[in-house]
Every structure is written in structure tokens, then in C-alpha cells.
A and B are shown apart, each in its own frame.
Chain A
Amino acid sequence: MGLGRVFRRSIRFTFRSKRRFLVFLLIFAIVSTIVAFNVDSIDNLRTDELLKHKGVIVRRANNATITYGQGQALYNDILDYTEKPNSSVTLDQSMMYTFSDIDPRLRIFNLDIHNPWLADFAKPSLLDEGRYPRTANEILVPAGSLQHRSISLNNESYEVSSELAVGQMLNFKSPTGDEINLKVVGTFDGSNLGMTNPSKQLWLFMDQSKYEDMLSLFGLTQTQNARVHQLSFVVDGLILVPSTYDQVGILNQQIQTMLEDKTTYGDFRNQPDSLPAPQTKRTSKNITVFLGFTIIGGVLLSTLFAYLISRFRRREIAILKAMGYSHSSVRISLIGELLTTSFSGFFFGLFVAQLLLFDWVKFDFSTLIRLPAIGIAFLIMVVIAFPGMVLTSRRVLSVSPAEAFRDN
């Protein structure tokens, strides 16, 4: 009860010493905001930009037709190359993206909804509206997709169309009566796919499992009907580590050599130009350096905080000790103040940052620093505050209660 009361009171009293509280609140708010921005940037690299940093994309040349067999051959050969014992490239993820025309008005594409960033043409950051599919019967459509219905009236046939919207259900029935229901949960900017006239054909993007169900519903097979439009490979290793970028370069080189054989693999082209490795490498380096400085700065700041607090409160600490406060009681009172100030600063800084980042015109929440990044930034702040706490404790222990009486 006693130490708990000391802790609770120290939190309450922190807000009372207004000037000291506001100064440190502001400093912690600035540091927290910088940390949160940094972590958010790195989180972006971890997800949306991951393919750009540690991946290689192989696409079909302009509207070339790549058969499933050709695509599969290249895909398997690249996997075989990376699995060789002496290979200097290790893969983390890979995916072959195909599409199939169900009929002239409907084309379906496969996705891996669990690794959305592997599909650079339909990744979460390209979403216009809605969200990324979470279950197999949820789908994406390119923005502006039209759905078609044929209507017969007085023996004349009419085409009517309307724009597909988020939340709309699509129902597909086979001649034998089997059916599949799909729900549109998001629209995305499909310009990466070279869509020139989306009204000609409806394109639906779905998880691999539902894609296969759709093919089977309409009596089609991958090998005969599917065409390959992209292969994505992500090498193993951490972003921000140079060897990861070396692997990307080696894999790119190898694929370039393989693609000279157009008869086996079809008219593919890899995307070395879309991977400005030196630039991304530089970005990652900058972020590492910035994060390093932030952490070092944060540690210095919390150390300075500890130093100033124990200096400002030196006499008060001596008096508390003289009155019979144990080391742990004094320590808890200071830690209460440090925690209150640093956490208040963190949340205040974050709140201001979110206000600044929020797109008030579109009322768009996607511009905000995301929850995982906030969580990681919070952990970093705790780590940063730790040396300050240790130092505060040490300095508190060094204050002698005899300082309570000045020599007269």
C-alpha cells in the first residue's frame, strides 16, 4: 500500500509542477514523433515496399501471351537455381501470378491474400477504396470496373452496365447449378496492369484457392486455360542489411541470363529498371542512420532528463530521505514522474502527428501512423527511457540525507 501510494501520488504530482512537466512533455513529444515516423517508414518497407527492396519481378512483355507451361518452367528453374547448395541466393517468398478468361467478358486473376505485398500490381497501398481481402470469397476489382448484364426486351438484346462498388456481391453459377459468391471489398488503381479499357472486360482479383474454384466451376484448368503475367521473388534477409541487396543483384543477373531463352519461357522480361537498387539501398541507409541517431538521441535525452530531475529535486530527495523515505520509495517517486512525463509526451506527440498526417479533405485514415508502428515506437520509447530510469535510480541513491541540513 505504501509504495503504491507513493507511486500514485508521484504521478498526480507530476502534473502539478507545470513548468517542469511541460518542458519535458514537449521534448518527449518531439522525440516520440520522430521515432513513430521512423518506425512507420520502416514498417512501410516491411510491407508495401518490401518487393521493391528485396524482390525481383518478372513480367510478360507488353501483352505477350505466356502459357502456364512456359511460366511454370521459368518459375521452377528459378526456384531450382536458388535451392542449389552453392547458390548465394536464398528465397523467402515467391508467387506465380496468372489469369484466366472465363469468357470474353470476365477475366479472373489470382492473389495471395496472406502476402499482399508480393503483388506489386494490386498491393494494399494501391487501394482506392475499401480494404484488402481477408477471406477467400472477398475480391478486389480495379477502380472503374463495370459489371455487365444482358437484358432481352421485345426480342431485342440490350447491354446495361453499372460500376462495381465496394460491398457488392457477385454470384456465379455453373451450368450444373454449382455456385460461387464473391464480395467486392476493395477497388485499386489498376494502371500497373496496363488496363486500357476496363469496360470491355470485367477483371476480378481473388485468392488462389477461390481462383482455382472458379476455374473448376466453369470447367477450365490451370494448365490449359491460365496465362502467366508475373512472377515475384523475394530474397531472404533483412532490409537495411547490405547482403540482402547483393542477393537481389545476383538473382536479377541470373534471371536476365535465363530470359535470353525465349522459346522455353516465352516473352518475359525482368524488371531491373523498376528496382533502383542503389536508390532503395540509400533510402534504407538513411533510415538506419536516422533511426540510429534517434535512438542515441533518445537515450541521451532520457539520461539528461534523469540528470536534471535528480538535480532539480536533489534537495527534495535529501529531505525525503531525512524523513525516512527508503531508497525504493524515493526511486519509485522519481520513476513515477519519469514514466508520467515520457508516456504523456509519447501520446501527446503521437496525437499531434496524427492530426497533422490526417487527410481532412478526403477524411482518409490510411495516411495515419498505423497501430503496429505505434506499438513498436512505444516499445522503443520504453527502451530509450530505461537507461534514464537506471541512471535516475543511481543518482538518487547517491544523494545523502545529510544534505537536508545546510551548514550554517
Chain B
Amino acid sequence: MSMRIILEGNKLTKTYRRGRSEVVNAIQDVSLKVYEAEMILLYGPSGSGKSTLLNLLSGLDKPTEGEIKFMGDEISKLSEKQLTDFRRKYVGFVFQSWELIDHLTAVENVEVPLYPSEINSAELRTEAIQILRRLDLYDREHHYPGELSGGEQQRVAIARALIKTPKVIFADEPTGNLDETTGNMIMRLLKTVCRRGTSIIIATHNEQLKEYADRIIRLKDGQMGG
């Protein structure tokens, strides 16, 4: 494993206000480092702050306290527009329910992140098909999500994350809606992606995924532990 730090969170705290007076500490004093081509598991029960931490590290939300650095540059103080640029250039997402767009074919779903880019449409299509084939989705390019199995849909979602060649992929319960066999297949796939140089941070409460992780960060009540 390379020792180059890709992402770093220092003393991250995120508080929310619930109602008028109640303050909730979703994340409290969390620090972590993510290395290049490393797979990290954020492990914890529901409500432990995994999603909040994913939001902070991926630039979807800003910490109340602490700082986040991406390849040495602080991103926690960037403007909304700069954060959007950051996510577009460096970050890929894989969601629990795949979140594919129903009325788009598999290949169009993969292309979606790069529609606003300057890449030529023909090149984009070639690239999307190549990625789908790399993930064993031969002859499924023009199928709609409703015509694909759960495992196939999750592979399309991974292809959608990969098309931007991101530095980091954030995955939220990537096997949550899959049976065990398909879930293992998806994890092996993510592991392969990771070995090719992409760091992957997975939020899960599924203990079986631990065997794929290079490192496990346990979260409980918004704090690191275990």
C-alpha cells in the first residue's frame, strides 16, 4: 500500500440544531487519514454518524469545527461552488439503493456525471461502454435499470462513479440491498478498483464487509472508538 495521504480529517465536529434548543453532536472530535488505494470501512450502528462523516469527507457538508484536507489542500473552507468543482473532479459516489435514473439506460446513467463536461459525446459513450464491459456488463448497456438485476444495477452505479476516474469513492452501504453472494461480488469489484489506485471509503453496519477493508474505523455516538 502506498503511504501517500489523499484525505485527512482533523478533529472534525458536526453539530445540528434539533428544534429550538436541542443541539445534537452528530460527529465529535473525529480525526482520520485516508491513504491512496486504501479501502476504509466506517463501521457502526445506525445513527452512529457514518453518513455525516461521509458527507463531511466528500465535501457534501461542512464541519462545525475541524479541518479537512484533500491532497494537502484544505477543502473545509471552500465555497459551495468550489466544493462542487472538487466533487466533480475528484470524488465518486456509490449509494445504497444505487440511485440510478429510471428512464435512462445503463450507459446513459454512467454518462450522466460527465454531461456538463466538455468531453465529446462520442468519446464519452465509448468510455462509458468500456467501463461497463470492464465490470462484466456486456450487452446490458442499453437496458433500463428496471430490466437489470440488483447486482447489475450496483455495477452500473460503480461504473457511474468510475467514469470520472476519481481519487476517492464514497460508498454508502453498497451491499445493503443485495443478497450475500452478489454483495461479495460487488465488494471484490470495489477491491479491484481500489488496487488500481482509487481510495474507497465505505459506510456500513454489515460486519461481513470487514474482511475486504484495509482499515476499519468504528463509530459510536459520533465518536471514534474500538
Contacts and interface: CB of A to CB of B under 8 A. Distances in A.
Contact of B93 (A316, A319, A407): A319
Contacts of B50: 408
Given A9-B115, A325-B116, A319 B95 contact: yes
Interface stretch (B54-62, B68-76, B130-138, B186-194): B54-62
Interface stretch (B32-40, B84-92, B148-156): B84-92
B199 interface: no
A308 B113 CA distance: 24
A357 B47 CA distance: 63
B60 A324 contact: no
B51 A322 contact: no
B126 interface: no
A3 interface: yes
A316 B101 CA distance: 7
Contacts of B85: 324
B113 A323 contact: yes
A397 to B, nearest CB: 10
Contacts of A320: 112
B51 A319 contact: no
Contacts of B47: 407-408
A408 B87 contact: no
Interface stretch (A149-157, A187-195, A376-384, A398-406): A398-406
Contacts of A400: 60-61
Nearest to A316: B101
Interface in B89-113: 89, 91, 93, 95-96, 99, 101-104, 108, 112-113
Given A16-B103, A324-B113, A329-B116, A408 B203 contact: yes
Contacts of B203: 405, 408
Contact of B118 (A1, A329, A401, A406): A1
B67 interface: no
A148 interface: no
A178 to B, nearest CB: 71
Contact of A408 (B102, B118, B173): B173
Interface in A371-403: 400-402
Given A401-B60, A402-B55, A407-B52, A2 B115 contact: yes
Nearest to B99: A319
A90 B121 CA distance: 64
Nearest to B58: A322
Interface in A1-46: 1-3, 5-6, 9, 13, 16-18
A326 interface: yes
B167 interface: no
A17 B102 contact: yes
Interface residues of B, number: 41
Q: Which of A2, A5, A6 has the most CB of B within 10 A?
A: A5
Nearest to B172: A405
Contacts of A408: 46-47, 50-51, 96, 172-173, 176, 203, 205
B17 interface: no
Contact of A323 (B61, B88, B96, B118): B88
A404 B93 contact: yes
A321 interface: yes
A319 B97 CA distance: 12
A216 to B, nearest CB: 71
B99 to A, nearest CB: 5
Nearest to B89: A324
**Residue among A321, A401, A405 facing the most chain B CB atoms (10 A cut-off):** A405
Contact of A405 (B51, B88, B101, B160): B51
A315 interface: yes
A326 B84 contact: yes
Contact of B95 (A9, A17, A404): A404
Given A324-B84, A408-B50, A5 B115 contact: yes
B18 interface: no
Candidate in A17, A322, A400 with the most chain B CB atoms within 10 angstroms:
A322
Contacts of A315: 99
A3 B117 CA distance: 8
B221 to A, nearest CB: 14
Interface string B40-53: 00000011001110
Contacts of A1: 118
B20 interface: no
Nearest to A16: B103
A386 B35 CA distance: 49
Contact of A404 (B88, B99, B113, B173): B99
The 9 nearest A-B residue pairs measured at CB = A324-B88, A16-B103, A2-B116, A329-B116, A324-B87, A402-B60, A323-B113, A17-B103, A405-B51
8 contacts: A3-B116, A17-B103, A316-B101, A324-B89, A324-B116, A325-B84, A408-B50, A408-B51
Given A322-B87, A408-B173, 4 more contacts: A9-B115, A17-B102, A404-B95, A406-B172
